[in-house]
Amino acid sequence: MVPNQNSVCFRNMHLAATTRHTLDAYRSLGGYVQWEKILRERPDPADIIEEIKLSALRGRGGAGFPTGLKWSFMPRNAPGQKYIVCNSDEGEPGTCKDRDILRYNPHQLIEGMAIAGYCIGATVGYNYIRGEFYEPIQRCEEAIREAYAAGLLGKDIQGSGVDFDLYNHLGAGAYICGEETALLESIEGKKGQPRFKPPFPAQFGLYGRPTTINNTESLASIPVILEKGGQWFLAQGRPNNGGPKLFSVTGHVARPDNFEVPLGTPFRDLLELAGGMKDGRALKAVIPGGSSVPVVPGDVMMDVDMDYDSIAKAGSMLGSGAVIVIAEGTCMVKVLHNLSHFYMHESCGQCTPCREGTGWLERVLRRILDGKGRPGDLDLLDSVAGRIGGRTICALGDAAAMPVQSFLKHYRHEFEHLIEHGQSMAA
């Protein structure tokens, strides 16, 4: 495999699969050069943050918030403990990119977390990895051991006076812990129920201390941004949408996979990379950013570019970069029921509109799917979804509501047909 000069998180993918995750392999690509330079030169963290701002790196977990701006919210000179936390609780249906960073390129994440810690004044970092990721956990544990042994982590690292300790923390099966304040609660040994905001984590985070939480892919991008410059990263993508991004292209495509391509790549090119449609079927719909975002009809999607702003214009969101491709012949009622079942199961139960509403959505969709739908059911779905969205502490409520509203908007006739005839149009 030929190295791709423009890759970031996957820049080691051309190396031998048996060893590419090791410290030696990472060093061979210039790994830890940026961290050691920081240790040697002790630059002003504000300058690094400016470079990250220039790069227009936006949070890769789903919200797309500018990473540099987030770091600048931290009171880095305030006394007391501060934390950097990596959100490796990947679980948004359709998303499978962070798992590959964790198991194939863990050192780049470690270097990114160390640099982030330096910039925000945090001397301790936690990498929250979902509990089911047994292989990635093992790889990350090995990588941290290697980094300590090589004198890249710990106290007074390489005589620089800089301290940075890094630990993995494991989840145990709760989608909601991908919400950053639920994740903090979880590290504190509690149920993962999101906190009301404000105060935001930069003021009151882990153990009540200032904390920044970033996604795995965001943090793993940092060493390359520093190596090649914020301007280089920005130029890979589009204004306000810096860099390449990992897209997990899954569903009805010939070769589902993760692709690291520049933001702004046309969807049709991405589909081509994934080998086109599976078995030559026609494209029906695309969920372009993970199961939480609105569905987009296939013909519209064919003209959309894959960046935050273009997808927003098409009425959806880039989210986590999980591109779920759905072929003609698929029953959209069934797909929506699957999504609603997921959100019902994963609602933490804290806010009434979400706890009760997600159950209503699932049950009404179940009865429609079973051919027992009633005339009024679609209005009921619309109404319940509308009463969840915007009325909950965290975004899970919106994530449950948005698919319902968008499926009804674009595929209402399929729901009507099923209610009227008791069987799916797709059958």
Partner 1 sequence: MSFRNAPLAVIHDRDKTTLFTPEIREQIDIWIAKYPAEWKQSAVMPALTIVQDANGGWLTPELMNDVAAYLDMPEVSVYEVATFYGMYDLEPQGRHKVCVCNSVSCLLLGSEELIEHVEHKYDVRLGETTADGRFTFKEVECLGACRHAPAVLVDKTYHENLSPQALDKLIDELE
Residues 349, 355 contacting (CB under 8 angstroms) = yes
Q: Taking the complex as a whole, how short is the minimal distance between the CB of residue 234 and partner 1, in angstroms?
A: 28
Nearer to partner 1, 280 or 375 (CB): 280
Residue among 306, 309, 322, 319 nearest 239 (CA): 309
Q: Which is nearer to partner 1, 226 or 322 (CB)?
A: 322
Minimum Å distance from CB 275 to partner 1? Answer: 12
Query: In whole angstroms, how close is the CB of 312 to partner 1 at the nearest point?
Result: 22
Q: Reply yes or no: is the peptide bond before residue 93 cis, omega within 30 of 0.
A: no
As measured in angstroms, the least distance from the Cβ of 371 to partner 1 is: 17
CB-wise, 223 or 321, nearer to partner 1? 321
**Residue 283: strand, helix, or coil:** strand
Nearer to partner 1, 28 or 352 (CB): 352
Residue with smaller CB distance to partner 1, 119 or 324: 324
DSSP 58: B
C-beta of 269 vs 379, nearer to partner 1? 269
Q: Is the Cβ–Cβ distance between 381 and 357 less than 8 Å?
A: no
d(CA 345, CA 367): 17
Is the Cβ–Cβ distance between 252 and 325 less than 8 Å? yes
Nearer residue to partner 1 within complex by CB, 94 or 242: 94
Q: Residue 132 or residue 142: which is nearer to partner 1 going by CB? A: 132
Is residue 362 within 8 A of residue 344, CB to CB? The reply is yes
CB of 115 to partner 1, least distance (A): 21
Interacting residues toward partner 1 by CB under 8 A? 81, 90-96, 98-99, 126, 130-135, 167, 169-175, 185-196, 204, 207-208, 248-252, 256-258, 287, 291, 322, 324, 326, 330, 334-335, 338-339, 342, 345-346, 348, 350, 393
CB of 331 to partner 1, least distance (A): 11
What is the closest distance, in whole angstroms, from the C-beta atom of residue 288 to partner 1 in the complex?
Answer: 13
Question: Would you give the distance in Å from CA 331 to the centre of its chain?
Answer: 27
Q: Are 169 and 129 in contact (CB under 8 A)?
A: yes
CA angle 226, 227, 230 (to 5 degrees): 45
Least distance from partner 1 to the Cβ atom of residue 325, Å? 8
Question: Considering the complex, what minimum distance in angstroms separates the CB of residue 117 from partner 1?
Answer: 15
Closest separation between CB of residue 226 and partner 1, Å? 27
Please, are residues 212 and 71 in contact by the beta-carbon 8 Å criterion? yes
Q: Which is nearer to partner 1, 125 or 373 (CB)?
A: 125
Virtual torsion, Cα 241, 214, 176, 369, nearest 10 deg: 20
Least Å distance, CB 287 to partner 1, is 7
Q: At what angle do helices 396-421 and 332-346 cross, to 10 degrees?
A: 140
Distance CA 73, CA 210 (A): 10
Catalogue the long-range contacts made by 241-244 (C-beta closer than 8 Å, 24 or more residues apart): 241/56, 241/58, 241/307, 241/308, 241/309, 242/55, 242/56, 242/57, 242/58, 243/8, 243/55, 243/56, 243/57, 244/6, 244/7, 244/8
Q: Cα(340)–Cα(350) distance, rounded to whole angstroms? A: 18
Look up tokens 């300058």; give the residue.
47
Which CB, 198 or 375, lies closer to partner 1? 198
Closer of 35 and 126 to partner 1 (Cβ): 126
**How many whole angstroms separate alpha carbon 212 and alpha carbon 129?**
16
